């Protein structure tokens, strides 16, 4: 209860979402974050592959 004597929803303060909509919003945010992470990792893989292709293989050069 708050100071006026009204009941207060303390579930959110205790770490429990206040509603099903909150869970839906959190799920959507988690999916979006997963998608963004996957896109970022894929970009890093492409960049790494491109850098590897740009660097000649040192083992193929004749020594001396």
13 vs 32, higher pLDDT = 32
Q: What is the pLDDT of residue 55?
A: 77
Q: What is the pLDDT of residue 17?
A: 54
Q: What is the pLDDT of residue 21?
A: 84
- Provide φ and ψ at 5, rounded to 5°: 90, 5
Residue 4 has pLDDT above 60, yes or no: yes
* Placement of tokens 């040192």 in the chain: 58
3 vs 38, higher pLDDT = 38
> Which alpha helices (DSSP H) does 1-64 contain, by range?
20-54
What's the predicted TM-score (pTM) here? 0.53
Q: How far is CA 14 from the centre of its chain?
A: 24
């Amino acid at each position: 209860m708050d100071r006026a004597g009204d009941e207060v929803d303390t579930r959110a303060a205790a770490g429990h979402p206040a509603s099903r909509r909150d869970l839906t919003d959190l799920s959507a945010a988690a999916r979006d974050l997963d998608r963004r992470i996957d896109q970022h990792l894929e970009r890093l893989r492409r960049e790494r592959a491109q850098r590897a292709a740009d660097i000649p293989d040192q083992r193929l050069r004749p020594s001396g």
